[in-house]
Each structure stands twice: as structure tokens, then as C-alpha cells.
Chains A and B, each alone.
Chain A
Amino acid sequence: MTSHQPPAGTLRRAAAAGAALLVVCGTAAADGSEPRDILTIAIAQQVDSFNPFTAQLAVTTNILRHVYDSLITVSPETGEPAPALAESWEASDDGLTWTFRLRDDAVFSDGEPLTADDVAWTLTTMMENESAAVANGNYVSAFESVTAGDDHTVLVELEEPQATMTALNVPIVPRHVWEPILEEEGEAFSEYDNEDFPTVGSGPFVLTGHDRGRSITLEANPGHWRGGPRFDEVVLRYYSEKDAAVEALRGGEVSFVYELTQAQATALESAEDIHVNIADGKRFQAFTINPGAVTQDGEEFGDGHPALADRTLRQAIVMAIDNQEVVDKGHGGQAVAAGGYIPPRYTDFHWEPEEDPLAFDPEAANAMLDEAGYERGEDGVRVSPDGDRLRLRMHVHQDRPDNVNTGLILVERLADIGIEVENLTVDPGVLSDALHAGEYDLIFTGWTVNPDPDYVLSIHTCGALPVEPGTMQGDAYFCDEEYDELYEAQLAEYDRDARAEIIHRLQEVLHREAVVNVLAYPNIVEAYRTDQIASIQYEPAEGGNIWGQDGYWAWWSAEPASAEAAATGPSTGMWIGTGAVLLVLAAAGGFLLLRRRSTMEDRE
């Protein structure tokens, strides 16, 4: 018996040591400085670079929007361009000279004032240095020159008029910090990651830390000209698995999660102290029909079904599909059935077909095909006038459940009009390769549309066709003379209403030609803890989203909930959790000792 005393004693000592450690840790936590209001966001995407000239990924461009001001932002109330660094702006009569008047109270976080020189230097650097143009060179590609008129006036000379001048989404950086960096790094500038914290910027937050794969920290800049943010800190924490992030929100470890699935949103809706925000989509989900892939020189390539060059067939395909069914069954109701190309949240640019000739009408579609000479074969599948059987491949994004469901609907609906679909639900890489090789018939796509829709319109001009196979800029091999004329006209139109009118007509052409076919605008689904965030500004204010705003309204405006409520979880959880582990260990140890004793007694 005595031989068993020592182990039991060891166990007791171990338990005591564990308890002592807990006490030490408890006091360490209590020692912390005064409580700070921290807003925690669960993110998954990694940081490519905090260098605003090269950063590509959504997470980093989003963060940098809070660190560096831009000239003009978007009003959450009207959705129209609103003053940021520039208090006012105007174009010359010929539309080629833009004058931006800067506010005089913008200051970088190191105390230096932000002047027209910083703006001119930032934009000129992007025009002159290729490696500095990687992220935002598209905004300055039509610039002739940028100069500082005086400390608070910036003059931009354009080669051609462009209406996108009020949507220059370019972070303005301090020249006194970046000029030496550019010189020092030289060729290696593209590798420069801008991780000398705290970074110097003029935005409402200052980047103060990045623990790769763990967290990113932003601190409030109380001296921001718009007024400092209410939260002291915004921390972005990595959750590589979205379901785990949802659990972290439930447990109070994070204040906000975004890009939720329907199932995750439903699960969270019943949870206490959590608000699920369902916002109008910025994105459209579409499928494009291969009208015959060609290069800009007219060289044909790929192996799209030849019959799809016929607009009648393409229109019949569109008429066979019920967009409301796509919303209800494909998106579980979490979307809006599509009209035009631009989502309805952009009220002035959005267009809906009136008395749509291509509205859902399978009977009319069948009649159209009969008349155009597409006869049904014995198996019910039609054959084109040229004798090609209408068996079409359809590439669907495997990683998007709503696309996969929508694909299944399309297979059924197209069967209704005698088209057989080979449903290829594939990896995004496979899909992208098929698109760029022109080796597809129907293919899924989707774009996030910015407040200025110029870019998503530009990808369907003839100029976006590939120079050589595989280099396409757009996603549809669409090329139409009328469309191109309208596109140029909207770009040169500085009157917003007149421009919106032209953009409506662009969408009409796109709809009529039935190459790019928008099905639905999926809602944005995100959730936050109301016991941590009392209020937060949506963009747009009505039905808007929190993550991925075009301004920095959300985190700048977020109001912390009362401190007592927010101080939940971790520390008490840690006590209980550690206690539970010790208990389990003690129980296991005790059980073993008992067993050992009993077996000995049995067998001796």
C-alpha cells in the first residue's frame, strides 16, 4: 500500500501548482491598463502587402481604405460622390482639366499636413513607375499630368474626358515618407510590404500591428479631420474556417463576421445579442453564353457550340429561365431576381427591362426555336439548322453553393426547350481556364459592382477581347458596335443623370444580345454582436452593408456598447476551462490509481 502514496502526493502537488499558475495568470490579466473599446472582426484572407501601391487582395485594400484617405468618397445617404480630402471639384468646359480643392485640416498621423503636393506625387508615381501602378494604375491610365496648383489645389489633365474622375479609389500617401522608400527600394519596390508600424497615413485609423496569420491591429486616429472613431482599436483576427468564426461570434470572441451562408445566418438569427444584417447585394450572379471566342483581330479560337452564335437561340435560352426560381431555389430566397446588369442598390444606374421581350416564357421560347429551324430529335433534344445537336456544356463554380443549386435549375429549364446540358461543376481554376481558352458553351460568372460602374461596363467592349487567346480582359467575348459607342458616350458624359440614361441603354443592349445574362443579385449576409457594437453606419444607410464599404463609414462610426456587457467570456472562460482540464486530468489520474489498486488486490 505504501508504495502508492508517492504518486498520489505528486498528483496533489501538480494540482496545487496548476492552481498557483492560474492565480498568477489571473492577476496578470487584472493588471492590464484601463479598458479599451476593441472591435474584433473575423477574417480569413491573408495579407499580401500593406503597400498601397501594390496591395491586391480585398482584405488589404479594405484595411488601407481606413489608413489612407482618398480624394472623394461615397455618401452613405445618397450613394453619390462625397467630399473626403477634396472639399470640392470641377471639370473645365472641354472636360480635360479637373480641379480638386483640398481641405486644409487634413494631417498625417506623424503631424505633417497633407497638401496638394502629396496628392500630385502619389498619382504621378503611379503614372511613371510600373511597379507602383500594379494596384491602382487603372485609375490614372488616361491621365496626361497631375500638378499641385497651390498647397490645396490639385490639377489633373486628361487625355480623354472620363466621368470616373469622382471615383478615384486611390489611397493618398505622404510624399515625405514614400519618396525615400521608393528610392531606397528601387527595383524591389514591389516587394516592399510597408510594415513599419505605426504606418503614417491620414485616415481615421493607424495600422499598428500585424502578426501574420493571427491578427492585424488598427488604432483610432483621434486627430482625423472628420473626428476620431469611437472604438479605440479595431482588431482583425484570423479564422481560416468560417464555421469556427461563426462560433467565435456566438461566444463573443469576435464582434463581427461577414460573407455568411444562408445556413449560418439562419443559425445566428435565433442567437441572443446578435444582429444578422441582410443587405442589398453589390454583386450580380450571371451566366454567359459563348457567342464564338475571337481575338481583337478576329481570329477564332476555342470550341464553343457553333449554334450559339445565333442570337435567337441565346434569347430562347434566356426566356427558358425563371430568375425568380433561381432566387427561391438557387439562393434560398437570399437574393433579388435580376433585371439589368447593375444591381438595384445603385438606384440611378440600375435598369429594369419594361415589358421584357425576354421574360420567362418557355412556350414562346419553344415557338421561337421551332420557327428558327431547330427541330427536335427523337430523344427530344433539338438539332440546329446546321445539323449540330444542342448538347451544351455548362461550367459552374463548385465553391459557391448558390451557383451549384442554380446550375441544377438551369439543367431542368433548358431541357424544357429541348437543350441538353452537361453540368460541369468545377473548381474555379478549371472554370477560369475554360473561359480564357474559349472552351465552354455556358459559364457562370459574377462581379461586384462599385458605385461607379465604368469598369464592369468596360469589360464587354470590343477592346476587352483578347489580343491573343488567353489574355481576355472581360468574361464573355462580347463585342457590339452600338455597345462600344454607348460606352464611350457614358465615359465622356459628366452630367450624372445623362450618364445614367446612357448606362441604362448599355444594359438594354447587353440584355438584348443575350450573351451576358444576369440571374440574380445575391444579398450580403453578415452579423455583429449588439452587446459589443451599439450602432454602426450602413452603406447605403438603407439596406446597406458593413463589410466592404466604399467609404470607411462602418468602423469609423461604430459605437461601443456599454463596457460591462462587452467584457464577457475569455477571462472567466479561461478560469473554468483550465479548471475543467485539471479536473479531467485529476479524474483520470485518480481512476488509474484506483484501478491499479483494485487489479492488484484482485490478482495478488
Chain B
Amino acid sequence: MPDAPTVPRPAPDRLPACRSCIPRRRRCRLTVLAALALGSSLILPPAGRADPPVTAMNSWFRYIMPQVPAGGYMTLKNTSSQPMVLTGASSAACGTLALHRTETSGGVDRMVPVPRVTVPADGTFRFAEGGYHMMCMNPAMHVGQTVTVTLSFADGSRVPVPFVVYGVSGPPGSAPNGAETGMKMKMPM
């Protein structure tokens, strides 16, 4: 209950009612907590209280230099029973920030803008090297910094995500890997 301190203490006149259930002290305490929760839900707007159903893990940028775009990667986890549709992202550290995908066909790599990405219910979606990525067009950041990216979803929710800024070799211990898109290469004849 992170917002509990902002909630006023229950009025003392509620306590006698509580004493009447002394044999079930625990249940009594739960009643008080429920009252607190009810109180806080009345005081605070619901958006500030509910945990977003989508969280991002291992989010990072590969920053090279200000003149060239930085690629952003992350894993989105949806804990709700509804699919969540990511429709865009923005960051003060990027200028333009767009969802992109590297597509390989016929031995040619192609960058494709992605209008939306669906994170399945109770599932994950990975932005990984050689596949889906965020294109941070004018990176204003430095290695070692953490910058905020705000993800926008189709249901109107916005989720701020901290991105760690790494240099060209990426997070320590990671092997640059684009193999997971199953790229096939045809040799030119």
C-alpha cells in the first residue's frame, strides 16, 4: 500500500466496533485495512493507484553518438487477462521515437515502421536486436545514464519506463544476437 501514508487515520469512533470482535483480531485488522483501502480509493484517482498491467524489463538503448539514431530494446510483460496494444513511445531524450522492425528477406535487411505491437494476455513481447526495436532518432543521452521512455497503449494508458543507456557492446555479458528472427540468407548467384 504505497499510498497508505496519505490516507487519514480512521476516526476513533470506529474502534469500539472493532473491540467487539476481539476473538477475531486478525479479521478485525483486515476490516480496518479494507476501510483504509476504500478511503484511499475515494480520495485518490484510480489511475494513480492501479499498477499498469504492462511492465518493461531489461530496457536499454545502444547509444553510439548524437549524429546517428540509437536502438532501444526491452521485454514487455502483460500481467492482465486482456491483450495490450502498444501504439507508440516518446522520450525527451530522443526527439522522434518510433517502433521499428528489422525484416530480412531474400538476404536483404529492411527497416520497417511498426504501427502497433500486441502484448498477449499473460504474456511477453520482446524487442530484441535484429528484430523489433525502438528507433531513437536524435539521442540526447550519455552512456551510464537512465532515460525515461513513455509507452502509449491503445486503451489510453501511458507507462513510463526507465531505459539504461549502454555503449555499442550493449549490456555487460550480452552477446549481440539477431539470430532469433530466423533470418535466412540467400547467396547472390
Do A and B come from the same complex?
no
A interface list, Cβ under 8 A from B: none
**Residue ranges of B at the interface with A (Cβ–Cβ < 8 Å):** none
